[in-house]
Homo-oligomer: A and B are copies of this chain.
Amino acid sequence: MSERVNEILSWYAGENPGVLTNLARIMMTGALAGTGRFVILPVDQGFEHGPARSFAPNAAGYDPRYHFQLAIDAGCNAYAAPLGFIEAGAAGYAGRIPTILKLNNHDTLSPDGKDPIPSVTGCVKDALRLGCSAVGYTIYPGSAGFKSMYEDLAEITHEAKANGLAVVVWSYPRGSGLSKEGETAVDISAYAAQIAAQLGANIIKVKPPTAHIEQAEAKKVFEAEKIPTATLADRVRHVVESAFGGRRIVIFSGGAKGADEKIFEECRGIRDGGGFGSIIGRNSFQRKKPDALKFLATVMDIYRGKA
Contacts and interface: CB of A to CB of B under 8 A. Distances in A.
Contacts of A109: 141-142, 146, 173, 177-178, 188, 191-192, 195
Contact of A164 (B129, B198, B200): B129
Contacts of A17: 14, 87, 90-91, 94, 129-131
A97 B69 CA distance: 24
Contacts of A130: 14, 16-18, 21, 164
Interface in A226-267: 227, 238, 241-242, 244-248
Contacts of A151: 119-121
A155 B146 CA distance: 21
B245 A107 contact: no
User: Copy number of this protein in the oligomer?
Assistant: 5
A194 B82 CA distance: 11
A29 to B, nearest CB: 10
B56 A107 contact: no
Interface string A150-185: 110011011000111000000001011110000000
Given A21-B90, A125-B158, 16 more contacts: A18-B131, A20-B131, A23-B94, A25-B95, A46-B194, A47-B194, A49-B217, A51-B190, A63-B244, A83-B200, A84-B244, A119-B146, A120-B150, A121-B198, A123-B155, A131-B164
